């Protein structure tokens, strides 16, 4: 497959971005370790069991959760199923062609999936209707509507807020037939994985890169921390490399940054 | 004040000598754009407020070099068509491509100032590089091509006023690319002025609005 | 027994036969796009982005005018039961009829050998999603500065419990006797989309068309207001 689409950043613009970084500022006026304005709106799609709209600067993502009933995988008969799917819609940028998910969409889905799965955010052992026969399938579908960099964090925040605000009708087995319950319940949530993404542009480490910054970065690093401060998912992106010291530095920066973002996410969820 | 119109809206009725960006249907003139209607002097026209840069011969534009071949450079001119500059035009004489290397003159990512010389087959925009064709600056901004073209063709006082009030050097392409030279503070002021152009659609009021915003800037900087 | 969908002249959502559902349009919501819009019509929530005109070296480009391309797509979470993200035959047909409904309004001769993309994403679907898509896409095309003769607006009429009603909601669409989406270019008295399923008498068909046209006039006012809201920024309010 072809490598992902990059913007052509003009020489003057590159200089402008680098000069600004040298003075400790981004071209949009934030600091090197500041996120863009973030807005998260849960329950935007009434027909979905859970949903959230995220705007991170001009990056615009919506995630929806649907709960279905399915057959468990043979190797995990006592666990519900998680399916995460993402599509960078052609609405997002002029470089995005309509068609089946490309490698960027698939990488995005898999990284979000890892953050949810490995943080043990949801107790899948509680999503069993009848062991070996019927379990809940949790579909998380992510649509990237508008794109201006850092799709990973925006998509992850949309997905976790959608999951943590999901309400669905439980299903019970009554004499061999599955019957819908009468009262909606929440998913069995036990943790919250928080994603933060850093990029190295020239010699500078920055958080929450824009598309322009991603187009001129060496590489990018996404880290997911769980509630207890364990690292539970990592993804290096971009066709350049990071120094070992950069990685160690980012791991520490990500820890404090993820605590800050955790408060934001928890605030949104408790007000939903 | 000129009136805001939308596509299909009747801009004027009667008989006019000339018209632009409207469809004539009997006595009625209907807008084909979201724009500002201007009626007077036997003339009816709509100044469009959005849409791509539509190249016109004689326009001064700024482009970003996207490809360099032995005989020509291709430029992104912020439009639905590419701009081309022939190698001859850079060297100001006929050249032997086996002996000259255009990539020694321009590189991908460079900004080039040029005039639209001709448009071939309705599509290929051939550019003539400006005397000072190499554009170096400290910042680049994009504004709506429709508004940039309006400022350019109406010989608006806005660009020179921005220069005067910010102290920055400024080159505005009719295609919406603006290149600024100056320190970070000056660039920040220019950005605020351009934000006014981007977010406001009352073309007649832009000039005063910009003066207001920049004077506020000046004062807060003194404090 | 057939479901009672109209009781004492009121429909399931309390409307009379000629009332529209709540309809709201926002213009210019996607930064990267040349033009964009968001429509809420009933429970429909739809985003439209326009890209182009853009240079295209694709085989088959029209040398006389721009080529229009349209994709209508439903997000997997947009329906009661999760929808497979792959485009269905229904979505492919709707993409085509939306394109055919909009093309007559556009002046594409200004942009030969280029392509204009209309991307429609249904975030939540309700009855009449194709009509809402057309209404929103026409506004997005105007926002993109694509020259056009007129805005296009679309709405469905149908027969429910023997009564003609406009702007069918989900249940009326599914359980009613017929459903007929229509798109108009009102200035020229033209129809650019016309589909029907179910049964109607010739008289009902004719009366339905008039009802749809009246409803389209109301929708046109909402389209105009939506564009004016964005493009009047900076005017001195009196």
Interface of B to A at Cβ within 8 Å reads: 64, 66, 76, 107-111, 135-140, 179, 184, 187
Range name among A67-71, B15-19, B94-98, B135-139 with the lowest pLDDT average: B94-98
* Residue B88, C-beta contacts closer than 8 angstroms, at least 6 positions apart: B94, B95
The C-alpha torsion from B19 through B20 and B24 to B30, rounded to 10°, is -120
| pLDDT tens for each residue of B47-63 | 999 999 999 999 999 99
Residues B121 and B69 in one domain: yes
Name the band, by pLDDT with cuts 50, 70 and 90, for residue B217: low
- Chain C residues near residue A66 by CB distance under 8 angstroms: 76-77, 81-82
Q: Evaluate whether A222 touches A195 at the Cβ level (below 8 Å).
A: yes
Cα–Cα distance for residue pair C49/C133, rounded to 1 Å? 11
State which of B103, B134, B165 marks the end of a domain: B134
Q: How far is B54 from chain A (nearest CA, A)?
A: 19
Average pLDDT over residues A162-179: 93
| pLDDT tens for each residue of A5-17 | 567 889 999 999 9
pLDDT for residue C3 is more than 90: no
Q: How far is A23 from chain B (nearest CA, A)?
A: 10
Query: Residue B55: inside a domain, yes or no?
Result: no
What 3 state SS string does chain B have? CCEEECCCCEEEECCCCEEECEEEECCEEEECCCEEEEEECCEEEEEECCCCECCCCCCEEEEEEEEECCCEEEEECCECCEEEEEHHHHHCCCCCCCCCCHHHCCCCCCEEEEEEEEEECCCEEEEEEEEEEECCCCEEEECCHHHHHHHHHCCCCHHHHHHHHHCCEEEECCCCEEEEECCHHHHHHHHHHHHHHHHCCCHHHHHHHHHHHHHHHHHHHHC
pLDDT at A4: 53
* Residue B75, C-beta contacts closer than 8 angstroms, at least 6 positions apart: B63, B64, B65, B66, B82, B83, B84, B85, B112, B114, B127
The C-alpha torsion from B74 through B77 and B80 to B83, rounded to 10°, is -40
- Chain B residues near residue A19 by CB distance under 8 angstroms: 138, 184
pLDDT at C112: 87
pLDDT for residue A223 is more than 90: yes
* Residue A201, C-beta contacts closer than 8 angstroms, at least 6 positions apart: A17, A18, A21, A209, A213, A216, A217, A218
A7 Cβ under 8 Å from any chain C Cβ: no
Residues B161 and B192 in one domain: yes
Q: Average pLDDT over chain B, rounded to whole?
A: 90
pLDDT at C1: 43
Average pLDDT over residues C158-183: 96
**A102-to-A86, A108, B70, B221, C131 alpha-carbon distances in Å:** 10, 10, 35, 49, 30
Name the band, by pLDDT with cuts 50, 70 and 90, for residue B122: low
- Chain A residues near residue C47 by CB distance under 8 angstroms: 91, 145
**A108-to-A92, A113, C235 alpha-carbon distances in Å:** 14, 9, 43
Name the band, by pLDDT with cuts 50, 70 and 90, for residue A173: confident
Element at C81 (helix H, strand E): none
Name the band, by pLDDT with cuts 50, 70 and 90, for residue C56: confident
Residues B123 and B161 in one domain: no
- Chain C residues near residue B32 by CB distance under 8 angstroms: 107, 147-149
pLDDT at B102: 84
Alpha helices in chain A (DSSP H): 11-22, 103-118, 151-164, 211-215, 244-271
pLDDT at A251: 98
Residue entry with tokens 């070099």: B65
Query: Residue B144: inside a domain, yes or no?
Result: yes
pLDDT for residue B99 is more than 80: no
- HSE, CB side, 13 Å, CA atoms: give it for residue C57: 2
For B145, the domain range is 139-222
pLDDT at B218: 54
* Residue A241, C-beta contacts closer than 8 angstroms, at least 6 positions apart: A218, A219
| pLDDT tens for each residue of B24-51 | 999 999 999 999 999 998 999 999 999 9
Q: Which residue, C192, C198, C196, is CA-closest to C216?
A: C192
- Chain B residues near residue A20 by CB distance under 8 angstroms: 184
pLDDT at C129: 97
Q: Which residue, A161, A127, A151, is CA-closest to A45?
A: A161
Cα–Cα distance for residue pair A129/A237, rounded to 1 Å? 39
Query: Residue B53: inside a domain, yes or no?
Result: no
pLDDT for residue B125 is more than 90: yes
Q: Spell out where chain C has E strands.
A: 6-7, 10-11, 23-27, 35-41, 44-55, 67-74, 114-124, 153-160, 163-166, 178-185, 190-194, 197-198
Q: How far is B137 from chain A (nearest CA, A)?
A: 6
What size, in residues, is chain A? 272
Cα–Cα distance for residue pair A88/A93, rounded to 1 Å? 9
Name the token pair of C35.
């033009």
CATH number at residue B15: 2.40.50.100
Rounded to 10°, the helix B206-222/B158-166 angle is: 0
Q: Which residue, A65, A78, A46, A41, is CA-closest to A187?
A: A65
CATH number at residue B122: 2.40.50.140
Phi and psi at residue B152, to the nearest 5°: -70, -50
Residues B197 and B173 in one domain: yes
Give me the residue from B136, B138, B184 closest to A23, CB to CB.
B184
- Chain C residues near residue B146 by CB distance under 8 angstroms: 145
Q: Evaluate whether A105 touches A39 at the Cβ level (below 8 Å).
A: no
Name the band, by pLDDT with cuts 50, 70 and 90, for residue A225: very high
- Report how many domains make up chain B: 3
Paired residues of A234 in beta bridges: A223
Residues B74 and B122 in one domain: yes
Cα–Cα distance for residue pair C231/C27, rounded to 1 Å? 9
Residues B23 and B36 in one domain: yes
pLDDT at A6: 65
pLDDT for residue B205 is more than 90: no
Q: Is A217 left (phi over 0), alpha (psi -120 to 50) or beta?
A: beta
Residues B87 and B144 in one domain: no
What domains sit in chain A, N to C, each tagged with a CATH number? 22-271 (3.30.230.70)
Mutate to test the interface with B, among A9, A14, A16 (most CBs of B within 10 A): A16
| pLDDT tens for each residue of C76-114 | 999 999 999 999 999 999 999 999 999 999 999 989 889
Residues B82 and B106 in one domain: yes
Average pLDDT over residues B118-144: 90
pLDDT at B53: 95
Alpha helices in C29-110 (DSSP H): 89-102
Q: Evaluate whether B87 touches B93 at the Cβ level (below 8 Å).
A: no
CB contact under 8 A, C52 and B80: yes
Mutate to test the interface with B, among A12, A27, A58 (most CBs of B within 10 A): A12
Residues B44 and B73 in one domain: no
Q: B13 vs B91, which has greater pLDDT?
A: B13
Query: What CATH class is the domain C12-230?
Result: alpha beta
pLDDT at C35: 98
| pLDDT tens for each residue of C140-161 | 999 999 999 999 999 999 999 9
Name the band, by pLDDT with cuts 50, 70 and 90, for residue A148: very high
pLDDT at B222: 40
Name the band, by pLDDT with cuts 50, 70 and 90, for residue B220: very low
Name the band, by pLDDT with cuts 50, 70 and 90, for residue A198: very high
Q: B93 vs C171, which has greater pLDDT?
A: C171
Query: Residue B86: inside a domain, yes or no?
Result: yes
pLDDT at A2: 52
ipTM above 0.85, yes or no: yes
Residue of B nearest to C50 (CA): B51
Structure letter (DSSP) for residue C151? -
Q: A186 vs A173, which has greater pLDDT?
A: A186
Name the band, by pLDDT with cuts 50, 70 and 90, for residue B101: confident
CB contact under 8 A, A12 and B137: yes
Name the token pair of A153.
């964090």
Query: Residue B54: inside a domain, yes or no?
Result: no
A83 Cβ under 8 Å from any chain C Cβ: no
Cα–Cα distance for residue pair C43/C21, rounded to 1 Å? 9
Helices (H), strands (E): how many in chain A?
Answer: 5, 14
Cα–Cα distance for residue pair C183/C152, rounded to 1 Å? 7
| pLDDT tens for each residue of A87-138 | 999 999 998 888 888 999 999 999 999 999 999 999 999 999 999 999 999 9
pLDDT at C22: 98
| pLDDT tens for each residue of A235-264 | 999 999 999 999 999 999 999 999 999 999
Cα–Cα distance for residue pair C62/B128, rounded to 1 Å? 29
Residues B125 and B189 in one domain: no
Cα–Cα distance for residue pair B82/B130, rounded to 1 Å? 17
């Amino acid at each position: 497959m072809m490598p992902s689409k990059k913007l052509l950043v003009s020489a003057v613009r590159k200089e402008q971005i680098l000069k600004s970084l040298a003075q400790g500022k981004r071209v949009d006026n934030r600091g090197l370790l500041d996120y863009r304005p973030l807005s998260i709106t849960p329950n935007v799609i009434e027909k979905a069991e859970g949903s959230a709209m995220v705007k991170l600067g001009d990056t615009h993502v919506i995630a929806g959760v649907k709960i279905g009933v399915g057959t468990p995988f043979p190797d995990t008969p006592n666990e519900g199923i998680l399916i995460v799917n993402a599509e960078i819609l052609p609405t997002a940028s002029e470089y995005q062609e309509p068609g089946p998910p490309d490698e960027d969409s698939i990488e995005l889905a898999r990284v979000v999936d890892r953050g949810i799965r490995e943080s043990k955010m949801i107790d899948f052992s509680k999503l069993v209707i009848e062991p070996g026969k019927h379990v809940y399938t949790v579909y998380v579908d992510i649509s990237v509507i508008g794109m201006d960099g850092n799709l990973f964090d925006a998509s992850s925040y949309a997905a976790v807020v959608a999951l943590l605000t999901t309400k669905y009708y439980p299903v019970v087995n009554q004499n061999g037939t599955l019957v819908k319950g009468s009262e909606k319940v929440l998913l069995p949530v036990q943790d919250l994985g928080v994603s933060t993404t850093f990029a190295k542009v020239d010699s500078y480490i920055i958080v929450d890169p824009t598309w322009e910054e991603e187009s001129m970065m060496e590489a990018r690093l996404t880290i997911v921390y769980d509630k207890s401060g364990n690292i539970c998912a990592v993804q290096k992106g971009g066709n350049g490399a990071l120094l070992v010291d950069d990685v160690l530095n980012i791991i520490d920066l990500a820890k404090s940054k993820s605590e800050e973002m955790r408060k934001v996410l928890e605030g949104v969820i408790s007000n939903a | 004040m000129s009136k805001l119109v939308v596509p299909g809206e009747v801009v004027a009725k009667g008989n006019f000598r000339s018209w632009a960006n409207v469809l004539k249907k009997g006595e009625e003139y209907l807008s084909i754009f979201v724009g500002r209607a201007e009626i007077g002097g036997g003339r009816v026209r709509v100044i469009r407020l959005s849409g791509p840069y539509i190249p016109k011969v004689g326009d001064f534009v700024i482009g970003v070099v996207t490809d360099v071949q032995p005989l020509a450079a291709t430029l992104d001119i912020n439009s639905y068509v590419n701009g081309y500059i022939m190698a001859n035009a850079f060297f100001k004489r006929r050249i032997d491509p086996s002996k000259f290397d255009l990539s020694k003159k321009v590189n991908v990512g460079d900004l080039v100032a040029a005039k639209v010389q001709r448009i071939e087959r309705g599509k290929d925009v051939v550019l003539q590089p400006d005397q000072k064709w190499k554009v170096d600056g400290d910042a680049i901004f994009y504004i709506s091509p429709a508004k940039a073209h309006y400022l350019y063709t109406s010989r608006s006082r806005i660009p020179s006023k921005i220069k005067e009030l910010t102290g920055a050097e400024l080159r505005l392409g009719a295609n919406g690319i603006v290149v600024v030279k100056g320190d970070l503070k000056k660039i920040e002021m220019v950005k605020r002025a351009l934000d006014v152009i981007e977010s406001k659609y009352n073309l007649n009021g832009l000039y005063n609005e910009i003066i207001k915003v920049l004077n506020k800037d000046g004062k807060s900087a003194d404090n | 027994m057939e479901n009672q969908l109209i009781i004492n002249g009121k429909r399931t959502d309390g409307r009379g036969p000629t009332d529209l559902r709540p309809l709201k349009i926002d213009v210019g919501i996607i930064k990267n796009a040349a033009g964009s819009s968001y429509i809420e019509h009933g429970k429909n929530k739809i985003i439209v982005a326009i890209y182009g005109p853009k240079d295209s070296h694709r085989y088959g480009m029209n040398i006389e005018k721009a080529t229009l391309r349209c994709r209508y797509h439903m997000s997997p979470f947009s329906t009661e039961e999760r929808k497979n993200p792959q485009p269905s035959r229904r979505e492919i047909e709707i993409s085509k009829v939306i394109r055919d409904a909009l093309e007559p309004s556009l002046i594409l001769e200004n942009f030969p050998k280029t392509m204009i993309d209309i991307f429609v994403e249904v975030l939540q679907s309700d009855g009449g999603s194709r009509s809402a898509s057309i209404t929103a896409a026409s506004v997005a095309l105007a926002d993109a500065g694509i020259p056009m003769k007129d805005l296009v607006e679309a709405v469905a009429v149908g027969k429910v419990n023997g009564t003609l009603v406009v702007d069918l909601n989900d249940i009326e669409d599914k359980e009613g006797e017929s459903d007929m989406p229509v798109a108009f270019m009102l200035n020229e008295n033209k129809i650019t989309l016309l589909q029907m399923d179910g049964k109607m008498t010739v008289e009902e068909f004719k009366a339905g068309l008039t009802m749809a046209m009246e409803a389209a006039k109301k929708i046109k006012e909402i389209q105009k207001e939506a564009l004016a809201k964005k493009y009047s920024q900076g005017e001195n309010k009196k």
